[in-house]
A and B are shown apart, each in its own frame.
Chain A
Amino acid sequence: DGGITQSPKYLFRKEGQNVTLSCEQNLNHDAMYWYRQDPGQGLRLIYYSQIVNDFQKGDIAEGYSVSREKKESFPLTVTSAQKNPTAFYLCASSASGVYNEQFFGPGTRLTVL
């Protein structure tokens, strides 16, 4: 079945450590996105990539980094520079076209101890 997988589902890290969240899609989509969701809030765009080896900052990119070496993969690294990293992280992908619904993965819940 086609879809988006994110791993792990739950992630705990100590303050000051970098951590990488995985996102893989087999939908053959060109564009991929990372969003952050805080409790009771909407999603905010962290980074997005429209093509391999290219990505752009979203609205809240500070303290995060990404790479896009393969079309299927778009990992997100939460660095120690991110002041409040505890949140729910959602990855999405979309095809090109005027109507480009974004398909979402199941999310990773990151908790900083």
Chain B
Amino acid sequence: AQKITQTQPGMFVQEKEAVTLDCTYDTSDQSYGLFWYKQPSSGEMIFLIYQGSYDEQNATEGRYSLNFQKARKSANLVISASQLGDSAMYFCAMLRFDGGTSYGKLTFGQGTILTVHP
């Protein structure tokens, strides 16, 4: 069974500094995808970044980068130059493909609450 583990219930960072949010996963699948979502206090889920299991380069999206270490089964999110608006819950999720179709089901971790201090 697939499992996502986020070991940091809460993280604090000073504004303008970088922060790393940890995510490890467990799967026997060869093909999978890893996502990071941000959930502000309003509750909406905002997509941040995606990494496919066969992607050799680490994904980057603006201030977000994903440190993908396949052998260690980790997919840590790095946020550079933190902003006050980055304060939110962050979820790591793994996409597992359903029986060879092109649709997948997401398995989420427990989340990490990030607080950015001015």
Establish whether residues B91 and A42, one from each chain, have CB atoms under 8 Å apart when the complex forms: yes
Q: How large is the interface on A (under 10, 10 to 19, 20 to 34, 35 or more residues)?
A: 20 to 34
Contact of A107 among B33, B44, B50, B110 (CB under 8 A): B44
**Interface-lining segment among B62-70, B75-83, B99-107:** B99-107
Query: Does more than half of chain B's interface fall in helix, strand or loop, or is it mixed?
Result: strand
Q: A48: nearest residue on chain B (CB-CB)? A: B105
- Tell me the minimal C-beta distance from B22 to chain A in angstroms: 14
For the complex, is B28 an interface residue (Cβ under 8 Å from A)?
no
Establish whether residues B52 and A42, one from each chain, have CB atoms under 8 Å apart when the complex forms: no
Residues on B with beta carbons closer than 8 Å to the beta carbon of A102: 47, 106
State the B residues within 8 Å of A (CB): 4, 33, 35, 37, 42-45, 47, 50, 52, 91, 93, 95, 98, 101-111
State the A residues within 8 Å of B (CB): 30-31, 33, 35, 40-45, 48, 50, 56, 58, 88, 90, 92, 94, 96-107, 109
